Structure 1
Amino acid sequence: MLAHLPLFAHPDPKRVLVIGGGDGGVLREIARHPGVEEIVICELDEDVIKAAKKYLPFMAVGFEDPRVKVHIMDGFKFMANNPGIFDVIITDSSDPVGPASVLFETPFYDAMYDALADGGIVCTQGECIWLHLDIIRPLIDSISGKYSTVEFAYTTIPTYPSGQIGHIIATKGRGGCKVPVRKPTEEMEKSLRYYSTEMHSAAFILPAFAKKAIFK
């Protein structure tokens, strides 16, 4: 869902940037979209990629796609040197503690905004509505003034605390992402295990307590 929500909400995504995601799982899902022409990944720790290729080949298969370009470097620096060119930016990060904490702060969202092309979409790991409203609420408040729209979706993943994880989805110069503007091809549908057009829209329907807390 981290990959498919923004990609199916964009009418014609050509250039996609992934920050983090060294296990290759997000790359694998982006690679299912035949219209994407370039997939750039910035991973700070090359050992993560090496370990994924060795121990998680079913996920790391995304690195084999010829459209993928790997940069072992800080995503902040990469985005600063590549302004206004990406249709979709996806952040596949760890939790907001330690080095990853900067990925949940306003300057990082400002950097993503500047790296987006007009009409672009960012989608980030957004923590859990059951455990982290104290993180989600101020972050959404802080970026709402810059992005055209800021929305929150969530999905079910049994291995995460509480069995769910959220996604913050924000746009530049366009409307929201609750309704997909494209559908999976018939061939693509055969390989999708979770995403569907119905699941896309449903992901944005929040429990009443979360909706009130996040968008009060």
Structure 2
Amino acid sequence: MPNQDSTSSPQLTHATINNGWFREVSDESFPGQAFELRVSKILHVEKSEFQDILVFESTDYGNVLVLDGIIQLSERDEFSYQEMITHIPIFAHKNPKSVLIIGGGDGGVLREVLKHNYIERIIQVEIDETVIRLSKKYLKSMSIGFDNPKVEIKLCDGFAYLDELRSAQEKFDIIITDSSDPDGPAAAFFQENYFKLLYNALNENGNVIMQASENVWLNINKLKELKQTMQKVFPNVMYTETSVPTYTSGRLGLMVASKDDSLKLNQPVRSFNREQEIDLFRYYNSSIHKSSFDLPNWASSFLDQY
């Protein structure tokens, strides 16, 4: 499929859009459900080396990025995910200085990491340069951090990059895995070997967080399997959630882990004052940090049983 955008072709089409509505269906990820958004204009359609990419302007949720038919974000609600996946592991760490971002080519996580001025070095590993390029064009409020001097962008596979670190001395205080769902090239990011690489790349008291793909309302069995797989590697693993209306069922799970088995990941060890929180964040605050780990009885008992 050739690269197409609205400036070169006003009649763009995509298989997921019909009669002015985008429709997301995945029998594997969320069987028996579907999600729709009304489309104002298709902005870009492209098949990169790695995935099918669609960007469209919705009537109510701003610009929307879709990879392989699955919504990755909308401008209206992206901050709820970006802030929680970023600030939970950082505020749960006593003194973070270095951050590694795996994925996140839209720039949202990077934008949030840069709000912590004490972070000295940030490396972002993104396999698909096309996502970065299109985010700079269509998601400008998210992609503002790519030119920051603290940031080093590496265009390569995240799994391969971590594998190279096994023989290197470089370690990180925080690792954030912002991958797509575990279908196709992202499947490796949900397996035990990947978690071993994450563990190796962390400093002694390092924290890692990843999007869990599932939540307790979708496929709690897969969620439990993911948690147990991480627990084979990390001594301290917890599940938390954030509210994302454009994610099917409106909730998105996050799995956070630490090398420090005594660390209470659901309790921030540092925080900004209330004025700073209001100024810097639209979703995250220290209270939400704590409460986001609270689950209904049926869900928490199921995830914790062996």
Q: What TM-score does the superposition give when structure 1 sets the normalisation length?
A: 0.95
The unaligned stretches of length 5 or more in structure 2 are 1-83
- The correspondence of residues 37-56 of structure 1 with structure 2, limited to 5 A, is 37-56=120-139
Q: Is the CA contact (8 Å cut-off) linking 1:151 and 1:176 kept in structure 2?
A: no
Query: Residue 277 of structure 2 contacts residue 284 of structure 2 at CA under 8 Å; is this kept in 1?
Result: no
Deviation of 1:138 after TM superposition, in Å, equals 1.1
- Cα distance, 1:188 vs structure 2: 5.1
- C-alpha root-mean-square deviation of aligned residues, in Å? 1.3
Alignment: residue pair count: 216
**What is the aligned counterpart of 2:147 among 39, 64, 86?**
64
Give the structure with the larger strand fraction. 2
For 1:19 and 1:187, locate their aligned partners in 2 and report how far apart those are by CA, in whole Å: 27
In the TM superposition, what are the counterparts of 1:133-144 in structure 2 within 5 Å? 133-144=220-231
Q: Please, which of 67, 84, 90 is the counterpart of residue 176 of structure 2?
A: 90
For 2:259, the equivalent position in structure 1 comes to 172
Q: Give 1:145 shift.
A: 3.0
Partner SS for 1:179: coil
Distance 1:47 1:164 in 2: 27
Distance 2:255 2:191 in 1: 12
Q: What amino acid is the match of 1:54? A: K
Task: Note if 1:14 corresponds to 2:101.
Answer: no
Shift of 1:101: 1.3
1:202 aligns with 2:291: yes
Q: Larger deviation: 32-41 or 166-175?
A: 166-175
Which of structures 1 and 2 has the bigger CA Rg? 2
Structure 1: where are the runs of 5+ without partners? none
Percent identity between the aligned chains? Answer: 40
Structure 2 equivalent of residue 114 of structure 1: 200
Aligned to 1:103: 189
Structure with greater helix percent: 1
Alignment check: 8 A CA contact 2:277 2:285 kept: no
Match of residue 125 from structure 1: 211
- The separation in 2 between residues aligned to 1:173 and 1:162, in whole angstroms, is 33
Question: CA offset at residue 36 of structure 1?
Answer: 0.5
Letter paired with 1:181: V
